[in-house]
A and B are shown apart, each in its own frame.
Chain A
Amino acid sequence: MNDDIASRLESLRPQLLKYARLQLRNTAWAEDAVSETLLAAIEKPQSFAGQSQLKTWLVGILKHKLIDQIRRNSKELSTTSAEDGVDLDDDLFAADGHWRDEPQDWGDPEHVLRQLDFMRVLEACVEHLPGQQGRLFMMREWLELETEEICKELAISPTNLWVMLHRARLRLRECLQLNWFGNAMATTGGAK
């Protein structure tokens, strides 16, 4: 492996670490997963042959290393904080079960999803999820694990998982509403 590849690997490390931290919510384990990823890449450069993108290849390896870390630390990773237990439902619905405020029209999805700034806001909102909600959301949406797999790896019940993902998605929605859709500048494609 030549110097060029070595420096490209090093330059991608911060991005890999960002996703590893989002997934594990533990810096030491995230750094381990990234080191294992880079080591695997250096030891098996031949498996890169035919892959068009270095980053795509590395993220693929990282996802496997993150699942290894989740298995290794499943007990610690199953713990929940007080914040994880907070339900937004009572804020959203009146006692009779009707919406307190009707959900807003978020506009044309194509227009929204084209904007790089929206991806950054989404990423920040995922980062702001409480620890366990964030881990489970990442396992579901970024690692693309089936719910059965998540329950098995973390030894939690489906009901428990569904409740946590319910909370995570409602929080994410609220964060996006507050930081993107509620901001007229963003939805009209303004400068900020």
Chain B
Amino acid sequence: MLGPNCREVTRLVLLAEETRLPLRERLAVRFHMLICKACPKFAEQLALMRRASARWRRYSEE
């Protein structure tokens, strides 16, 4: 089974920050994450950035 490569998965993971991905893409991303070492790390970085944005937003108001 030939899924999307890291470049394509990265695009989808970034897109998921803006909109809900279709089921098919969500599955392809989750599948890729099981077999890839690098992309889960990118996803973790992105998760940290998301939390950082929220923290920064609060920091800007305090």
Contacts and interface: CB of A to CB of B under 8 A. Distances in A.
A48 interface: no
A53 to B, nearest CB: 7
Interface in B21-62: 37-39, 41-42, 44-49, 51-53, 55-57, 59-62
Nearest to B54: A141
Nearest to A166: B14
B7 A170 contact: no
A12 B54 CA distance: 21
A119 interface: yes
Given A103-B41, A109-B47, A142-B57, A97 B14 contact: no
Interface residues of B, number: 32
A31 B38 CA distance: 44
A123 B59 CA distance: 11
Interface string A40-64: 0000000000000101100110000
Interface residues of A, number: 41
A158 B15 CA distance: 11
Main secondary structure of the interface of B (DSSP, over half): helix
Interface in A153-181: 158, 161-162, 165-166, 169-170, 172-173, 176
Contacts of B39: 99
A112 B46 CA distance: 14
A97 B5 contact: yes
Nearest to B15: A162
Contacts of A89: 7, 10-11
B45 A106 contact: yes
A187 interface: no
B7 A162 contact: no
Interface in A91-134: 92-93, 96-99, 102-106, 109, 112-113, 118-119, 122-123
A140 interface: yes
Given A98-B7, A173-B45, 16 more contacts: A53-B62, A55-B61, A93-B7, A96-B5, A97-B5, A99-B38, A99-B42, A102-B37, A102-B41, A104-B45, A105-B41, A106-B44, A119-B59, A165-B18, A169-B14, A173-B46
A172 B45 CA distance: 11
Contacts of A105: 41, 44
A114 to B, nearest CB: 9
